[in-house]
């Protein structure tokens, strides 16, 4: 099935972007190509102000783009301290017989968390920020967010389909091990878990801190989906686990911060470790699938090896014990 995952990102040149900025947005300035997985992004620096120009994947549905705009406006209305990139202008532009959606966004000043050395207090602050984001989104809803989406780690049927793209039987069995743990320890309680529309990609490459004003912001709302609420912090701690050799002290700090802003229920804390594992499984199965489609795209493999290492380590751990330790250290 054709989707944003099977069609390459747009590939406009800097010269084309400069021409489009001038003719369609009445802007001129320095253009820098930024990485985009499914979309194409540019940093635009004019004489007085900077912007982000996003060109959406040709297969991205208009209603999904509207989810992002609506959510960002909702967050800004509910909590003006959360920095989110508002849309300044957007246009549908025909290029070579194809119509692309272009969006001009605010540029958020600050540094990404992955650019700084994180203390335990930084992880607590990051968690507190993500909890505030969840509070701002808790009463947000959008019909298009209720979707089948490969990056929603609760949708294990998609994960099972993508399992077929993994060539190694040993690695397939590792995924099956975690699926079994999920089905035994989480599935019986699914009807008791809270649901909401979530950002679904809260990691240190998407979270920005403005040191001058001591404020946090977040970008990249393309993975938003209506899912179990606990998936939001589970995604964040999956990235913390990936990026640290001794991750649990940092995970506890993050979750304490999150819990202080958005109190988690005991059941949610009991199952979060399994959702963290599902996110890591989603990471490797998505990579296995998409690198077969786009073997030249090295970015698709960036998280693959660390995620496999994390899964190997977790497969040798007592997940039930980790779940109990997490509950004891957070509540």
Q: What is the pLDDT of residues 203-250, one digit of tens each?
A: 999 999 987 767 799 999 999 999 999 999 999 999 999 988 899 999
Of all residues in the chain, the percent with pLDDT exceeding 90 is 91
- State the first-to-last Cα distance of the chain, in angstroms, to the nearest integer: 44
Per-residue pLDDT averaged across 169-173, rounded? 97
pLDDT band at 329 (very low <50, low <70, confident <90, very high): very high
Q: Is the pLDDT of residue 103 over 90?
A: yes
Of all residues in the chain, the percent with pLDDT exceeding 70 is 100
Instruction: Give the tens place of pLDDT for each residue, 105-160.
Output: 999 999 999 998 999 999 999 999 999 999 999 999 999 999 999 999 999 999 99
**Which structure tokens are listed for 4?**
């944003």
3-state helix/strand/coil string of the chain: CCCCCCCCCCCCCHHHHHHHHHHHCCCCCEEEEECCCCCEEEEEECCCCEEEEEECCCCCCHHHHHHHHHHHHHHHHHCCCCECCCEEEEEEEEECCEEEEEEEEECCCCEEHHHCCCCHHHHHHHHHHHHHHHHHHCCCCCHHHCCCCCCCCCCHHHHHHHHHHCCCHHHHHHHHHHHHHHHHHCHHHHHHCCEEEECCCCCCCCEEEECCCCEEEECCCCCCEEEECCHHHHHHHHHHHHHCCCCHHHHHHHHHHHHHHCCCCHHHHHHHHHHHHHHHHHHHHHHHHHHHHCCCCHHHHCCHHHHHHHHHHHHCCCHHHHHHHHHHHHC
Per-residue pLDDT averaged across 43-56, rounded? 96
Instruction: Give the tens place of pLDDT for each residue, 261-299.
Output: 999 999 999 999 999 999 999 999 999 999 999 988 777
> pLDDT at position 79, please?
96
> pLDDT at position 213, please?
65
Burial 296-312 (b: 16+ CB within 10 A, else e): eeeebeebbebbbebbe
| Average pLDDT of the residues of the chain | 95
pLDDT band at 1 (very low <50, low <70, confident <90, very high): confident
> pLDDT at position 253, please?
97
Domains of the chain and any CATH numbers: 14-106 (3.30.200.20), 111-330 (3.90.1200.10)
Instruction: Give the tens place of pLDDT for each residue, 175-207.
Output: 999 999 999 999 999 999 999 999 999 999 999
Residue 71, number of CB atoms within 10 A of its CB? 22
pLDDT band at 78 (very low <50, low <70, confident <90, very high): very high
Instruction: Give the tens place of pLDDT for each residue, 59-74.
Output: 999 999 999 999 999 9
Pairing assessment for the beta strands 50-55 and 87-95 based on DSSP bridges: unpaired
Please state, in angstroms and rounded to a whole number, the distance separating the CA atoms of residues 284 and 281.
5
């Amino acid at each position: 099935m054709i989707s944003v995952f099977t069609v390459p990102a747009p590939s406009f040149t800097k010269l084309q972007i400069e021409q489009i900025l001038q003719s369609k947005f009445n802007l001129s300035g320095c253009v820098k190509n930024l990485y985009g997985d499914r979309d194409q992004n540019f940093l635009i620096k004019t004489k007085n102000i900077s912007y982000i120009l996003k060109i959406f994947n040709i297969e991205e549905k208009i209603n999904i783009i509207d989810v992002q705009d609506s959510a960002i406006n909702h967050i800004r209305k509910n909590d003006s301290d959360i920095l989110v990139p508002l849309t300044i202008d957007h246009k549908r532009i025909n290029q070579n017989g194809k119509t692309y959606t272009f969006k001009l966004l605010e540029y958020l000043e600050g540094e990404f968390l992955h650019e700084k050395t994180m203390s335990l207090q930084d992880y607590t602050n990051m968690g507190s920020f993500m909890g505030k984001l969840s509070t701002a989104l808790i009463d947000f809803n959008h019909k298009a967010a209720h979707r089948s989406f490969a990056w929603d780690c609760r949708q294990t049927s998609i994960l099972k389909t993508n399992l077929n793209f993994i060539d190694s039987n040993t690695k397939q069995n590792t995924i099956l091990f975690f699926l079994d743990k999920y089905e035994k320890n989480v599935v019986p309680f699914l009807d008791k878990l809270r649901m909401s529309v979530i950002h679904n990609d809260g990691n240190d490459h998407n979270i920005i801190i403005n040191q001058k004003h001591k404020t946090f912001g977040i970008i990249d709302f393309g993975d938003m989906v209506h899912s179990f609420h606990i998936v939001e912090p589970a995604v964040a701690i999956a990235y913390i686990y990936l990026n640290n050799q001794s991750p649990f002290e940092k995970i506890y700090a993050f979750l304490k911060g999150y819990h202080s802003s958005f109190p988690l229920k005991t059941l949610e804390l009991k199952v979060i470790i399994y959702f963290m594992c599902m996110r890591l499984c989603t990471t490797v199965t998505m990579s296995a699938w998409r690198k077969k489609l786009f073997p030249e795209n090295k970015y698709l493999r960036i998280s693959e090896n660390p995620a496999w290492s994390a899964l190997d380590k977790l497969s040798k751990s007592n997940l039930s014990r980790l779940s109990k330790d997490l509950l004891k250290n957070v509540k």
